[in-house]
Chains A and B, each alone.
Chain A
């Protein structure tokens, strides 16, 4: 199987390659001419190729923005679909340059896995989906239920914690991929399917009869999702981090894909610094000075990407909620470019 192959490959790579892929990720990416982006591949709204093989999603657009910043061409991305179980191994072994795959930021992943989270591009929390026919209105009524869950996720651990904390019994059936877990839930193997709330919204729409299923109100965990890079290459870490911040800052400043050319003539110092007509902020990152202009021109700001993939412009219709800008009651906040 692919997963085993990746892990054996990792063991071999770690064992035999004297130089681990640590520093100089930017140079590697530039000389390769394409960014390798670890993606979901099965999650609507975050990473999913359509019938024509064109990828869409919030995380997918993040990688496009990164490619735009580096190459001035958002199409220079190779999306590598990864399961939850294999994603960290693929990043550690250098198979991908960045992992943008709705990955929860936790302390152990940030420390013992040798990875760095660049920030949070989606604030999420874990929820449950059940059949309407069960007449369950709260997750607290799920004592003794069977839950289908995807392996290698924080979901697996939160689920056990939640049931333990509430003194409820649980039967967990664990599957290697979310596709298999949802299929088993749909076939009646489990009473509930659990994953991040955003994922539930996407999976529900892919079920045969979406209206037979409801998402329970409880959110049982904090799931700050963000892109991840390898520990040890600070330059690359900065580039990926500021790609996200540039998109958030652009939304705050009102710079959009449509008006970015007009904004080049703006007098506002913040906008001038963002778009590179003032200061050397891009060059300090090791990129061209108009790096943020490229991102906005090709991909758009954070709000546009959000609405297009998971918000009102998508079939998921998720409200901004925690992901609104800090100026609008949400948590998305970016340090200033100066």
Chain B
């Protein structure tokens, strides 16, 4: 071997830097420990699963996912998709999931609006407004959510009149302790022109927005983007709608022997759950928003003023973007909390995923392990998707260091 090119094998070198056994190599050792840990966890998981299967078999409890296609046989009070008592457990799962997503989606939107309003109100210079916002936040976030839900449910049931004394809402709706009943709009055949106009309007607004932005970057001239967008998205379809002769009719709710039939029905359980979740979560969001706004140094506002920006653009272009960097991560947590808290629906009879699937389906099939695993997987998925979307948004508003 040529000592000048080959690996260092001379005796002198070996004594100077002895080759350590593999076990003392920190890198190798680190990997070895991690492999061992993974193997231990995998063994525990395998042991748990095989034990569960064996125990279930020994206790003669049915296992597997065969129940999915069996007839459910029970009724559900709110179904966003077609469901009858002859539907399957799998269908009942989707009904429950959609009901959960409905209340979570609406809750996130309303809680964000209310939270921002209260958060800003708490910073108001008006003493009364600031104190009222502070009182709201400190009261609501210090009471358990379950109690608040029960309170709202009983408040909704007790405060609203019985079905025979329904409050008539102008325009053909009813409100009573069985829910809110509204006329249901139904599009007639001619309405596709309006739908086409709406699609064209949205596409046009996007194209115009991109063009306006490019032009502003190039020349500094600003185009009236807001007005053009409103005209394209709202006014254009309305005009087409009028020209095609108002192809819309309403299906009005009417009183039957016991209940009100027809129309759009909003259950009191949904109202109470939404009230409870929105009011509770908004208190936390308000604090997040307040913290975000306070985190922007006053010098930023003063600098913007000194550059000649008016208060409106200062807030929109200088303060809010910087505040959002602080607001978005904790806001994500609040969205996740709201979604998970919606499972308290079970206490007030709202048919969400936990009530239908982890409740009735679990009880009727007796397959606790499978049903709970599926339910947990669903909540995990919803939460991960929510935080993934929020992280995407956060990346856009995050500080870009140059």
Contacts and interface: CB of A to CB of B under 8 A. Distances in A.
Interface stretch (A151-159, A197-205, A301-309): A151-159
Nearest to B57: A114
B157 A14 contact: no
Return the 4 tightest CB-CB contacts between A and B, nearest first.
A152-B363, A114-B61, A172-B75, A113-B366
Interface string A147-171: 0000110001101110110000011
B346 A156 contact: no
Contact of A16 (B48, B349, B369): B48
Contact of A160 (B62, B75, B256, B349): B75
Contact of B363 (A11, A84, A163): A84
A18 to B, nearest CB: 6
A115 B322 CA distance: 61
Interface in B66-91: 73-77, 85-86
Nearest to A15: B48
A89 B51 CA distance: 17
Interface stretch (B210-218, B283-291, B353-361): B353-361
State which size class the interface on B falls in.
35 or more
Nearest to A192: B258
B366 A172 contact: no
Contact of A144 (B177, B258, B368): B258
Interface stretch (A181-189, A234-242, A265-273): A181-189
Interface string B144-155: 000000000010
Given A1-B346, A114-B366, A151-B360, 8 more contacts: A112-B366, A114-B59, A144-B261, A152-B360, A157-B364, A172-B74, A180-B348, A188-B162
A94 to B, nearest CB: 10
A187 B372 contact: no
Interface of B: 48-49, 51-52, 55-56, 58-62, 73-77, 85-86, 154, 157-158, 162-163, 177-178, 256-259, 261, 268-269, 344, 346-349, 351, 354-355, 358-360, 362-366, 368-369, 372-373
A151 B363 CA distance: 9
A188 B157 contact: yes
A3 B146 CA distance: 14
16 contacts: A4-B354, A7-B358, A10-B368, A10-B369, A15-B52, A16-B51, A17-B51, A85-B360, A92-B59, A111-B62, A144-B258, A145-B257, A151-B363, A171-B77, A171-B259, A176-B355
B372 A8 contact: yes
A85 B74 CA distance: 14
Contacts of B362: 7, 85, 89
B60 A114 contact: yes
A208 to B, nearest CB: 13
Contacts of B76: 172, 174
Contact of B59 (A7, A143, A230): A230
Given A88-B366, A173-B77, A189 B258 contact: no
A17 B58 CA distance: 13
Chain A facing B: main interface SS:
mixed
B61 A184 contact: no
Interface string A50-68: 0000000000000000000
Given A14-B52, A146-B259, A89 B59 contact: no
Interface centre among B59, B163, B178 (most CB of A within 10 A): B59
Nearest to B347: A176
A20 interface: yes
B55 A144 contact: no
B158 to A, nearest CB: 6
A89 B359 CA distance: 11
A159 to B, nearest CB: 7
B257 A144 contact: yes
A232 interface: yes
Interface string A1-44: 10110011011001111101010000000000000000000000
B94 to A, nearest CB: 17
A333 interface: no
Contact of B368 (A89, A134, A152, A159): A89
A22 B85 CA distance: 35
A7 B368 contact: yes
Contact of A152 (B48, B61, B354, B359): B359
A134 B59 CA distance: 48
Nearest to A145: B258
A187 B366 contact: no
Contacts of A163: 75
Contacts of A15: 48-49, 51-52, 369
A189 B368 contact: no
A231 interface: yes
Contact of B256 (A89, A144, A230): A144
Contacts of A22: 58-59
Given A17-B51, A146-B259, A230-B59, A189 B177 contact: yes
B177 to A, nearest CB: 5
Contacts of B365: 112
A151 B92 CA distance: 14
A189 B366 CA distance: 30
A172 B79 CA distance: 12
B363 A88 contact: yes
